[in-house]
Structures are given as C-alpha cells and as structure tokens.
C-alpha cells in the first residue's frame, strides 16, 4: 500500500512540474561526454553492478560550440582528453509537455536522462534525473542513480559530471539554443584599458621648436584660421573605442602655412598621427608684427570623441565661428593659488546646447590649482544659440580662461 501511495505522489509531482512550465517553449542541445583523466586514478570499490557518483556542476560561458565546449570541460575538470558519446536536441513545450528524455549507453549499460522544467524566470530551473535501465526478473525497469538540479540561461552551457564504478569520468551538458527570445544577448565588450600616460615632452625639444618664432601668449593672440581639414578618425581606433583630446604645438611660416607640428599631449599614437596629418593641411592668416609677417608658435587642440549621431555637436573652426557670449561670470581666484603666485591660462573645451547653455566642459590645458575655478565660472556662461540651417544646434569650441596676479 505504501508503494502505491509513493507512486501516486511521484506522478502528481511530475504532473505539477509539467503544468508549471506548460507555456514555455525551449530548444535544448544535450551532449554526453567521456573524459580521460590526467595520470593514474585509484578506482573506488563498489559491489553494485553499476554506480554513478555525482561530481561537480559548472556553468560555461556564452554560445559554446562543440570544440569550445570540449576545451572548456577539459580545462574546468582538469582532463587529458574528452570525446562526445552522444548528442541530441530536446524540445520543451511540445505535446508531451515539459518533461523530456534521452537514452544512451555506457559500458553496456543503458541509461535515460530525464529533464523537467521546474521554473522559468529569465532562466530555467531544471530537475535532472539519470536512470539506469535494469532487468528485474523478466521485466525491464528504471533505477534512479542520479538526481540533481541546475540553473540554465539561454546561450549558456550547464555541465555536470559523474563517475562510473571504475572512476571513469562522464559529463552531460545542456545548452538552450532557442527560440531567439530565450537567448541572452552577449555581454558587452570589456572597457578599453586606459592608455599609459604619455611621457612629458622634453622642455629642450619645445625650446628648439619655438626658437626664432613669436610665441602666442596671453597678450599675443594666435593667427586666424582660414582653412581647416577635419582629421580622419582611424577605423581601428573607432572600433576600439579610443577617444582623446590631442594638444599640438603648431608653427606657421610667414605665409601662414603650417611648417612644423609637435605633440604636447596625446595618449594614442594613431590619434596623434591623425591629428598631425590634418593640422599640417590647415592654413592661417599670416601673423604680422610691426607690419611684417613673422613665424609664430601656438597651441591647437584636436578632439576625437565618439558621440551619438542624434546628439552630435558641430565643432567650431574654419568658417564656423564660436557663438557670442551673452552672459559672462568671472572666475573666483583661489586664495591658495594667489598666495602661491600661481597664474596662467586654463584652456577648456566647451559644448553648448540648443539654448546656448554650457552642458559639458573638458580641460585641455590644465593648471591644477586653477582648473576648478575656471570650470565653475564657465558653467555659468550663456551663449547665443548656434544656428545650423536655421535650427538651434549644439556646438563645441575651446575657451581660454586667464588668471593674472595684479
């Protein structure tokens, strides 16, 4: 009587599990592997004709094909080799309900793997039963030799291992292969490792670069740009997500042609080269001193930024003039910097929105003791909205904030 009640309970339990996931349709790839250990193994002593000992369960990474899955199993379970004994496709949600099964043989013994879906919430919780088919008098019946649970997400492989009575390792893997709405998207690529800081430019090299030319300073404005060529964003840098603001020292001759370029700041060689190649094609209005054209040295910034096209700002330069300031707030000179005698110019890269308000500020040329004061002041500035084809448009441009000790 007790056996009858137990059988009825098991049937009710399996029926409840089947009903729980009846609306879920899943395609699962099942594989059975035989492993070969590294070195000799002491076989456990068992008297039963067949024995399965559960070992470890592992979740492997996304989208495992056969060769990658084999390699991962060998690595995770420290095996010398692994081979596929059988594989099949299992489908949940068919007419048979949410309990699927597969038969295979090991060492002349027949086994059945039965998989039941217990719950689905962005992933599945499954009950896995491995049953051996044994002969009882003149009947064949199933003897449960392993019961385990596993969690499985679409696109991931779940693997559990077991051993026979001679210590031979075997593994069963499950991989949800469909439908498409049950497959998790691949993880995003890892963030780009920060580039090592560029070594500082040799002051002697800068001095040699500036020798014989007038240097644009706070009192001397750089020449006016009359022809600009946009840099070509290297495709390899774009795919790698590289972004940077390259600061160059530019030297023009008496005709306003760029004759020499020196990188003052730049993290990536490919972006530095793209900036130099572009700036060498720029042309300036000749710089005049006492009515005579003179070579002049000044700083230029070239920005490489990956932006959403729908939010991309126009970049000032060439024929595109920065907007006019209609509200200016003077920076507050930090007292500590004043007492330390620190002065100079902070160069900022600013983006204004459609209303002319500053919504992004980046430091191009830094004076650490003055940067914060410059940024806080500039964020309060308001510009005339920049119009592109009659439409208010965000625009980016550089701004110099000067700090002078009287």
Q: Is the pLDDT of residue 309 over 50?
A: no
Tokens of residue 137, six digits:
């008098």
Of 127, 124, 125, give the one whose Cα is nearest residue 116. Answer: 127
pLDDT for the residue numbered 203: 85
Higher local confidence (pLDDT), 251 or 315:
251
Per CATH, the homologous superfamily of domain 191-306 is: TonB (3.30.2420.10)
Tokens of residue 308, six digits:
């959403």
Higher local confidence (pLDDT), 28 or 166:
28
CA–CA dist 252, 257 (Å, integer): 5
pLDDT for the residue numbered 251: 94
Q: Say whether 334 sits in a helix, a strand or coil.
A: coil
Beta carbons within 8 Å of 302's beta carbon, 6+ residues apart: 231, 245, 246, 248, 274, 275, 278, 279
Quote the mean pLDDT of the chain: 77
Q: Name which of 55-69, 92-106, 257-271 the model is least confident about.
A: 55-69
Radius of gyration of the chain (CA): 36
Q: Is the pLDDT of residue 21 over 60?
A: no
DSSP 390: T
Tokens of residue 30, six digits:
């099942």
Burial of 212: CB neighbours in 10 Å, binned 0-12, 13-18, 19+: exposed
pLDDT for the residue numbered 30: 80
Distances in whole angstroms, Cα of residue 108 to Cα of each of 10, 111, 132, 227, 291: 29, 10, 11, 83, 102
- CA atoms lying within 13 Å on the CB side of residue 96: 11
pLDDT for the residue numbered 39: 61
CA dihedral 115, 118, 124, 130 (to 10 degrees): -20
Place of tokens 């009710």: 12
pLDDT band (50, 70, 90) for residue 124: confident
pLDDT in tens, 247-268: 999 999 999 999 999 998 888 9
DSSP 223: P
Domain segments of the chain as ranges = 13-182, 191-306, 316-406
Higher local confidence (pLDDT), 173 or 63:
173
- Residue 135 burial (CB count, 10 A): 8
Q: Name which of 97-111, 250-264, 340-354 the model is least confident about.
A: 97-111
- The class that CATH gives domain 316-406 is alpha beta
pLDDT for the residue numbered 331: 92
Q: Is the pLDDT of residue 273 over 70?
A: yes
Strands 244-252 and 225-227: unpaired
pLDDT band (50, 70, 90) for residue 173: confident
DSSP 181: G
Q: Are 252 and 258 in contact (CB under 8 A)?
A: yes
- Residue 69 burial (CB count, 10 A): 23
- Residue 75 burial (CB count, 10 A): 11
Domains 191-306 and 316-406 share a fold: yes
């Amino acid at each position: 009587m007790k056996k009858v009640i137990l059988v009825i309970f098991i049937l009710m339990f399996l029926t409840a599990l089947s009903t729980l996931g009846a609306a879920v349709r899943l395609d699962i790839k099942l594989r059975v592997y035989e492993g070969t250990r590294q070195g000799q193994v002491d076989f456990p002593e068992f008297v039963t004709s067949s024995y399965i000992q559960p070992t470890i369960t592992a979740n492997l990474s996304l989208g495992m094909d056969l060769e990658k899955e084999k390699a991962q199993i060998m690595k995770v379970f420290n095996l010398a080799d692994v081979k596929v004994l059988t594989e099949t496709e299992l489908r949940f949600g068919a007419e048979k309900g949410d309990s699927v099964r597969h038969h295979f043989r090991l060492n002349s013994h027949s086994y059945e793997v039965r998989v039941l879906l217990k719950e689905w919430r962005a992933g599945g919780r499954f009950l896995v039963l491995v049953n051996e088919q044994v002969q009882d008098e003149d009947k064949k019946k199933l003897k449960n030799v392993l019961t385990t649970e596993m969690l499985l997400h679409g696109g991931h492989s779940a693997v559990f291992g077991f051993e026979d009575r001679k210590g031979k390792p075997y593994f069963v893997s499950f991989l949800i292969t469909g439908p498409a709405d049950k497959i998790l998207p691949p993880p995003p690529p890892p963030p780009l490792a920060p580039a090592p800081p560029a070594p500082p430019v040799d002051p002697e090299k800068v001095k040699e670069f500036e020798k014989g030319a007038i240097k644009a300073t706070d009192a001397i404005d750089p020449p006016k740009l009359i022809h600009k060529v946009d840099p070509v964003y290297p495709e390899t840098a774009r795919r790698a997500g590289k972004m940077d603001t390259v600061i160059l020292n530019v030297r023009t001759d008496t005709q306003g042609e760029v004759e020499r370029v020196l990188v003052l700041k730049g993290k990536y060689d490919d972006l530095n080269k793209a900036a130099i190649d572009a700036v060498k094609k720029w042309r300036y209005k000749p710089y005049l001193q006492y009515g005579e054209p003179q070579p002049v040295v000044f700083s230029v910034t070239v920005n490489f930024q990956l932006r959403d096209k729908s939010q991309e700002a126009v970049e000032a330069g060439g024929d595109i003039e920065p907007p006019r300031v209609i509200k200016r707030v003077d920076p507050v000179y930090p007292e500590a910097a004043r007492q330390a005698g620190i002065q100079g110019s902070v160069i900022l890269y600013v983006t204004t929105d459609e209303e002319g308000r500053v919504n992004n500020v980046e430091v191009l040329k830094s004076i650490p003791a003055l940067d914060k004061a410059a940024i806080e002041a500039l964020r309060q500035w308001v510009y005339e909205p920049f119009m592109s084809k009659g439409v208010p448009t965000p625009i980016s441009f550089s701004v110099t904030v000067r700090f002078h000790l009287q």
